[in-house]
């Protein structure tokens, strides 16, 4: 894949890393009451909107209040999953020692089990960002996004499978988790714990979510239970479509780069910073928009500092952009419509063989055969050792 950033020598890369490190230390030194107040207020907004949304759905006697309740409940689920859940599970608020905001005790309103998610996302995705055959979030193992992935006829269907995934995103994310855990454990340990054991964790979370949304609350409505089921279906659909759009804009826009396992062998922390920059893309918008994306609007800052309270990314972004400009590095950002359109351009283009995809994307053919060897960067994302292994080990 082509790069539109200046190629840096070793000294320039290390100098870039030092400036990014200094920025992180400066901002992390400010973390405290302001950040605690923010996440507490987000928690209250989530709880109040959930009560309001479910109340409107339950007591509505005409379409307008029912639709309003479904929309509000959908927004509540987005807040729970994005600004609250995603950021808490990254350990951004562990220092508060509050179980409501601790990554070890938090569980979110989605069928994806939080422990499985922390392994495949916090550790695997954030350590091996956009590294083919290591980052399982890159195309979620079925979407071809670069000429470095071998084309197969099944890729012709990826525009349609992505539409299906968008509408059912929580199910895709949940099913993705147990498969990644199983694939990443050593083969010897697979004899002790089968794929069925990992799947059971996912199925248990499914059971809890289905009982809550489609049994408990509907039963409270008596004969009006179909209305409650429909309201929850609409709310979950809204959450699914929004989270799909935001997350896919984070790494699959036109200029977001991918890497091979050979690229990260012996990778230093400064080189890791550069890879996070080149493999991620941001979204421009208002503060409300940023909150509703869980600040994944600032995917670049999030990937460089995943344990920093997310609201701080707004403060970091202009400073980081200056550093990138100083070193001639492309800072990939744009409005939501522009970025999401480029994601779909990429999905459609790479659904075709390279002769067509190359013309649509303007890239040179460069297929990277998987080596089958586990290459390790010297720098890995910070995560407790017990969470760097599969859940059931």
- Encode pLDDT of 130-150 as tens digits: 999 999 999 988 899 999 999
195-211 helix and 169-184 helix, angle to the nearest 10 degrees: 160
CB 348 within 8 A of CB 157: no
Query: Which pLDDT does position 2 carry in this prediction?
Result: 60
Residue 273 structure tokens: 């910073």
Supply the pLDDT for residue 128: 95
CA 259, 260, 261, 262 dihedral sign is negative
Distance CA 51, CA 57 (A): 10
User: Which residue ranges in the chain fall short of pLDDT 70?
Assistant: 1-2, 192, 363-393
pLDDT digit string, tens, across residues 91-142: 999 999 999 999 999 999 999 999 999 999 999 999 999 999 999 999 988 8
**Domain-wise residue ranges, the chain:** 10-361
Which pLDDT does position 160 carry in this prediction? 97
* Residue 305: partners with Cβ closer than 8 Å, 6 or more residues away: 24, 27, 28, 312, 313, 316
Read off the pTM.
0.90
Q: Report CA 300 to chain centroid distance, whole Å.
A: 12
Handedness of CA 220, 226, 227, 230 (dihedral sign): positive
């Amino acid at each position: 894949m082509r790069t539109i950033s200046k190629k840096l020598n070793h000294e320039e890369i290390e100098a870039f890393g030092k400036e990014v490190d200094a920025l992180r230390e400066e901002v992390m030194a400010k973390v405290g009451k302001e950040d605690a107040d923010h996440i507490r207020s987000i928690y209250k907004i989530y709880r109040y909107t959930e009560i309001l949304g479910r109340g409107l759905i339950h007591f509505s006697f005409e379409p307008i209040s029912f639709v309003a309740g479904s929309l509000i409940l959908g927004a509540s689920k987005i807040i729970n999953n994005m600004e609250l859940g995603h950021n808490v599970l990254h350990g951004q608020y562990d220092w508060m020692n509050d179980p409501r905001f601790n990554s070890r005790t938090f569980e979110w309103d989605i069928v994806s089990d939080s422990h499985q998610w922390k392994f495949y996302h916090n550790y695997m995705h954030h350590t091996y960002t956009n590294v083919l055959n290591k980052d399982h979030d890159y195309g979620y193992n079925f979407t071809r996004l670069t000429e470095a992935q071998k084309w197969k006829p099944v890729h012709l269907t990826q525009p349609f499978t992505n539409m299906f995934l968008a509408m059912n995103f929580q199910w895709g994310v949940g099913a993705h988790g147990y498969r990644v855990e199983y694939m990443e454990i050593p083969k010897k340990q697979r004899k002790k714990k089968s794929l069925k054991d990992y799947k059971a964790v996912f199925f248990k979370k499914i059971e809890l979510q289905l009982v809550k949304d489609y049994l408990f609350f509907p039963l409270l409505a008596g004969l009006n239970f179909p209305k409650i089921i429909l309201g929850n279906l609409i709310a979950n659909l809204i959450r699914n479509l929004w989270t799909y759009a935001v997350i896919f804009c984070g790494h699959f826009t036109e200029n977001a780069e991918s890497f091979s396992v050979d690229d990260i062998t012996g990778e230093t922390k400064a080189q890791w910073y550069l890879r996070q920059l080149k493999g991620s893309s941001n979204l421009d918008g208002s503060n409300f928009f940023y909150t509703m994306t869980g600040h994944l609007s600032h995917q670049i800052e999030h990937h460089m500092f995943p344990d920093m309270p997310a609201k701080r990314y707004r403060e970091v972004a202009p400073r980081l952009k200056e550093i990138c400009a100083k070193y001639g590095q492309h800072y990939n950002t744009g409005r939501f419509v522009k970025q999401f359109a480029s994601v779909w351009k990429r999905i459609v283009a790479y659904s075709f063989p390279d002769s067509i995809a190359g013309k649509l994307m303007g890239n040179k053919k460069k297929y990277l055969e998987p080596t089958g060897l586990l290459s390790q960067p010297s720098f890995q994302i910070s995560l407790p050792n017990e969470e760097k292994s599969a859940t059931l080990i």
